[in-house]
Chains A and B, each alone.
Chain A
Amino acid sequence: DQQVKQNSPSLSVQEGRISILNCDYTNSMFDYFLWYKKYPAEGPTFLISISSIKDKNEDGRFTVFLNKSAKHLSLHIVPSQPGDSAVYFCAALHSGGGADGLTFGKGTHLIIQP
């Protein structure tokens, strides 16, 4: 059973507009959430994170929103740039679980069109 779901395998957005990537989770023990960005032939790189005690975290063009009651988070990129074209993975962690393993979603391929 998938505990972290990214229901959109791909998303196409025009350059300069806002990109919104969505992620849902089912495990209520998750209390820390991360977004990773992955280019072809490279490993994932950390983008932004949010603790469950917050509902928003912002870093430059990237903002992550967390709605705990809905078990939903989203990543907003504004304005979208060509270099943002990549696969984005949502990941979740139970910080008290001891294993520190991240549970990943399947990823969303973001395509920024000129």
Chain B
Amino acid sequence: EAQVTQNPRYLITVTGKKLTVTCSQNMNHEYMSWYRQDPGLGLRQIYYSMNVEVTDKGDVPEGYKVSRKEKRNFPLILESPSPNQTSLYFCASSSRTNSYNEQFFGPGTRLTVL
């Protein structure tokens, strides 16, 4: 089954404790992206990757890092989480062979930073 998976689905942590949210897709998609969803703000892009070893900042990259060492994986790293990073995070992927395609989203990771 074609899908985007994220782990963990739920996470409660404390300020400053480094964490990683994993994202994996099995569709051989070149493009992957991270979004956060906050009440009243919709979905905002954090980082994206056009292909392996190619990453770039989205609209709200501060406080986040990403890496793309393999095509299928695109982890989101919070080196020193802060309460303003409490949010619902979505990973998405799409194929570059069709530039106008739809992005496939993962199920989301709800992060709470205390």
Give Cα A93–Cα B48 distance, bound, in whole angstroms: 14
B68 interface residue (CB < 8 Å to A) = no
Give Cα A36–Cα B58 distance, bound, in whole angstroms: 20
Q: B74-98: contact bitstring with A at CB < 8 Å (1 yes, 0 no)?
A: 0000000000000000101010100
Q: A74-106: contact bitstring with B at CB < 8 Å (1 yes, 0 no)?
A: 000000000000000101010100011111111
With an 8 Å Cβ cutoff, the count of chain B residues facing the other chain is 28
By beta carbon, the residue of chain B nearest A40 is: B108
Contact of B48 among A45, A99, A107 (CB under 8 A): A99
Q: Are B31 and A100 in contact (CB under 8 A)?
A: yes
Q: Are B100 and A95 in contact (CB under 8 A)?
A: yes
**What is the predominant secondary structure among interface residues of chain B facing chain A?**
strand
B4 interface residue (CB < 8 Å to A) = yes
Give Cα A95–Cα B92 distance, bound, in whole angstroms: 17
Q: Are A43 and B100 in contact (CB under 8 A)?
A: no
Q: Are B48 and A100 in contact (CB under 8 A)?
A: yes
A41 interface residue (CB < 8 Å to B) = yes
Give Cα A103–Cα B106 distance, bound, in whole angstroms: 17
Q: Are A107 and B103 in contact (CB under 8 A)?
A: no
Q: Are A43 and B4 in contact (CB under 8 A)?
A: yes
Q: How far is the CB of B107 from chain A (nearest CB, A)?
A: 5
By beta carbon, the residue of chain A nearest B35 is: A104
Most A CB contacts (10 A, CB to CB) among B4, B45, B50, B100 go to B100
A34 interface residue (CB < 8 Å to B) = yes
A42 interface residue (CB < 8 Å to B) = yes
- What B residues does A42 contact at CB under 8 A? 107-108
Q: Are A99 and B56 in contact (CB under 8 A)?
A: yes
Q: Are B43 and A101 in contact (CB under 8 A)?
A: no
Q: Are B100 and A44 in contact (CB under 8 A)?
A: no
Q: Are A106 and B90 in contact (CB under 8 A)?
A: no
Q: Are A102 and B105 in contact (CB under 8 A)?
A: no
Additional 6 contacts, C-beta under 8 A, given A42-B108, A104-B35: A43-B92, A43-B106, A46-B102, A89-B43, A101-B33, A103-B45
Interface residues of A (CB under 8 A from B): 6, 32, 34, 36, 41-46, 49, 51, 89, 91, 93, 95, 99-107
